[in-house]
Every structure is written in C-alpha cells, then in structure tokens.
Structure 1
C-alpha cells in the first residue's frame, strides 16, 4: 500500500502529528511519501524522519506580535501558484491520499477523484464543539480549505460528537517533573517581550523556545531555537507550560498532566476556541494578555493539573488505514476509554 501524506506546515503541531502517524504507518508496512506546505524550507527543522519529502508554498497566515496580520496574509498569498501545484500533483501512484489540513494534496485528490482521508483538529470544527467568534467565513475555511472524502476531527473531549482524541507524539517514559521548571513556547509573540516578562521571576527556571532564539542561558532563563528532542525532554521535566493556544502542544501537556496557561493568537478563531474549550473542560487556564504579573499570579495559584490519559490514536489510525479505512470500523473504535476522566 502506498500513501501520499500532506501536512500543513504553518505550525509545528501538524508536523508533530505527522511524526507520530508516519511511524505507525511505516510499522504497518505502508509506503508513505510526504508533502509539506505553508512554510519556507529554511524554517523547517529536524525533518530527517520524512525522507525525500515534497515542499509546496500552499497557504498560510502572517502573524505579528501575537495576532494575525490579514493585510500581509492577503498580499503574500499566491493563489496562482497554489492552483498550479494542485493541478500538477500526480496522485495516480497512490492507493490513498491523507491530508492534515494541507490544501495541495486535498484538492489534487478531489480533482483526480482519488480516495482521500482528512484528519486533524480543524475537522472537529465541523461538529458541535465549543467555538469562539465563529463566522460564515471561518466555517467555510474549515469545510473547504483541505477537504477529504472522509474527515476525522480530533479534540481533547468528545463533546458527544463523532470525533477522536488527540494524536500525541510522545514515547512512553516516566514523567519526572521538576517543581520550579516552566516550559515557555510563545512563537507568535515578540521574544524580547517574553524575556522581559520572565526576567523578574527569579524563583523559577524558565526554558524558553522560540523562533530567532539561539541556545543561551541568562540566569534563570534558558533559551533555545526550535528543535524536537530537547524540547520534548524539557516538556517532560517541566511542571508547567506557558504557550499559545495551539492544539498539539496543549495535547502533549495534557497527556503529561502539566499545568497549562495559554494565550490565544488574536484573530485566529481556532486558537480562541481552543482557549474556550480548555477553560470549559477545566483542564487549563487562558488569558488575553501576558505580562509578569499575570504569569506570577498563575504560577502561585493553586495547582490544577490535568487528569486525562489519551489512547494511542496514531497507532489506531494506522491499523485502520492498513485494514482499508472503512468508516464503520472507525466509528466502532473505542478510543475514548478515558471518558470518566473527561469532565
């Protein structure tokens, strides 16, 4: 069986899911070719696992200081290049096209009538889940940006909808948290401002990851640019996580039962909805602003770490795909074995 797997590379969450799913697809004996879009080649890192992957421009949002710049997003869009890439992508060698909200593979499969499965957090928004500032435009984006013949949504809770738990790229290991260690990942914020917020809080050890940062240490703040293995190591050892409201990192933090504080990317309906859901499920805390006082108040407040444990959805999906990807069989998978822990 040969599969074309399209991955939206705008954020690291989709790539993290691809690391998990890709390993299990290959373990099932499935040949996988990857295509990434939405990020320049020089901004990708630790991509060895994906072999000789394709890279396309796709579509992405431009962010500045914690919010989307819609004007720059429109000016940098390349619709003609996107259409050309869709038309030129040959899906004929593949038995199945997978897409994690990646438009080139999704639309190429649709035009060529190739069987396709779309999965990811965005497809959960096609169901009745907590949504903040939902508009006809946002609903259309979720429906048409990267459609598939079968569409599988992922979320932290089932909300009595036909969606699956998160796909978490974490190998089994002991969760040994250090009581003063805090992981900070705020890629959409000005990193100099983040450093200013953290600097007065000398009673904590902050491990700050972000674009443009070089590996260095200034007192109680350890800085690092994007990487995979060291990031996951520090995530395991931290007792708390401060991040934007992206789905994948929060999912990993929930699985590891960390304290979580998120600041949603302004103007990004998905992240704002994630923050809303996190509050409603009482699995973490969200804030509309970040500064030293907000961070200090949260760190010194009573601990409310998550109490969830998710099934191995990546492995289940890989086995389901290898068995023929029958919709009925997917609906019968009992992946919400932790329902009692979901409040």
Structure 2
C-alpha cells in the first residue's frame, strides 16, 4: 500500500485580528492547524477510450492532478470539466465522480485496484494503465484524504462541490510552481517520484483550501455570513482562539462591542444557533480531534476546554458524539497501534 505522511499540519504565523481585519483574514486565522489525515495515493495511466470511476467515501476529500492530459472530470453533480496538463482539482466532500480520457467514455471503478498497483506505470487489469503505457495515455495522480479543519470543520460543507485550481492561480500564484513540479515528477518516474508527488499533493490541496478561504469563500452563505460581519466575527475568532475560557453571552457581546440582546439576536440569525451552543459545538469538535487523533488524556482535554468537572465534560461529549470520551480515545489508540504493528 502506498500511504503518505499520516498528517500534514499547516500553521500560519498570525495574531488575533482586529475589528478592522477583513473577512478573508479572519477566516484564515481560524484555519490554523489545518490537517490532512490518512492520505493515500494512486498514479494512474488511462488509455483511450477509458475512464476511472471514484466512489463516494464519506468524510474523505479527493484530489486529482493531471500529469498528461487532457482528461474530463465528471463531477458528483454530473457536470463535465476539461482538465489539461498541469491542472488540478479538489473535491472537498468526495462524492462519486469520474476522470475520463474522452468526454463520453465509460468508467471502470478504481476500487478493485490496489493502491500500489500503478507504481512505475505498470497496470494490467481492465485496460487501465497498460503494461507499458504509451505517450498517448492520460496520466493522473490522485489522492484521497480526510480534510480536518478542527473547529472550522463546517467550512467543508460550505465549500463548492469542485474546486478547480485554474480558477485560483491569479490570486494564488504560489500554487503554480508546485503544479509544475508535480507535472515533471508524474512523467519522469524517477526513483522516489511517488513519495515526492505525495508531499506536493498534500501541500497543493492545502493551498487550494487556503486560496478559497482567502478569496472570501465564494458565494457561500449560512453561518459564514457571521464571519463577514466584523462584530460577530470578532466574537467567533475569540471563541476559536480561547475555547476553554469561561465565556458568557455578555462577555462575547463585549468582544463584539454590542449589547447582550443585540449580539445574541444577530448571532442566532447569522448562524442558526445561540452563541453558547456554537461554543459547545466548537469544544466538542476540538475534543474529538484531541482524543481521536492526538490521543490526549480525557482529563487534560476536559480542562483545556473549560470543563471543571470531568463528569460534565463526559456528558456533553456523549450527548454530541454518541460515545464516551474514553471510548473514542481507546478505539483510535488501538487502531493506531495496530497500524504500527502491521507496518513493522
């Protein structure tokens, strides 16, 4: 199995934004600690007239880079996008989709193929990645990952179905040299090219998310409208910066420089939940990440998130997640130990 680094962490250096900071900077502040978990890779050669189908994997994003094109992406919503050599696309919520060598071709499900089946361009099943491959075959490099935004996980559901990197290059030119490096590695097949492609793909996927966020999140609505409100966004940023503080509606209203009643009403209208419900949901997302990914002791997590009573934390966590904190921590610790044992 080809598997990349278990986790990539992007931590931009920043300070708490002021009331005058624009919405994109506020959201970027909240993206500190973005993580890509369990990244898995495939290099696939697609001769004409074939295509590769990717099934929906709940909770996992899909990234594709075109080393040699053109190819056509049939999105989860059945829209068709042409992708040329050097193009890349992120599908934040996964979903069933296909990458096609021609616009109207049939697809072969990629799941039966082992993750390491395309090393050095060799593939013998169902016509995907011919024995030797030719200069006529399309080449794509794909990776599947868990896109973890911690306390900002709702951003994933607000993202568009498809994020095309070609639409982001004008505002994020730093992505281009990464794509050029990926193009070279995907075609030269030098020793270690899979590992290098894997790391580049992780960085490009992270840059795509950052670019979309910095651009104001497109036309996304709902709770994101609160982040475009300079007063509400100040309170939200402070909750994310200090989730363990003993916040009250009054203290949050003070951060927003509003009266308690006006703040509570506007917050509910913008987000659909009360300020304290938002805080509880944020704490539970962070708690789940700390327990399941970082395996922190339950007592420490409870204390860091402002719970003076372990029992109160456990009740809130189980009400939100459906499992006790200790059960979540134990299950994921065992899974990691098993993977380390298998890896030798």
Which band: TM-score by shorter chain?
A: under 0.3
If you compute each CA radius of gyration, which structure gives the higher value, 1 or 2? 2
In terms of fraction of residues, the more helix-rich structure is 2
* Normalised TM-score (structure 2): 0.24
* Normalised TM-score (structure 1): 0.24
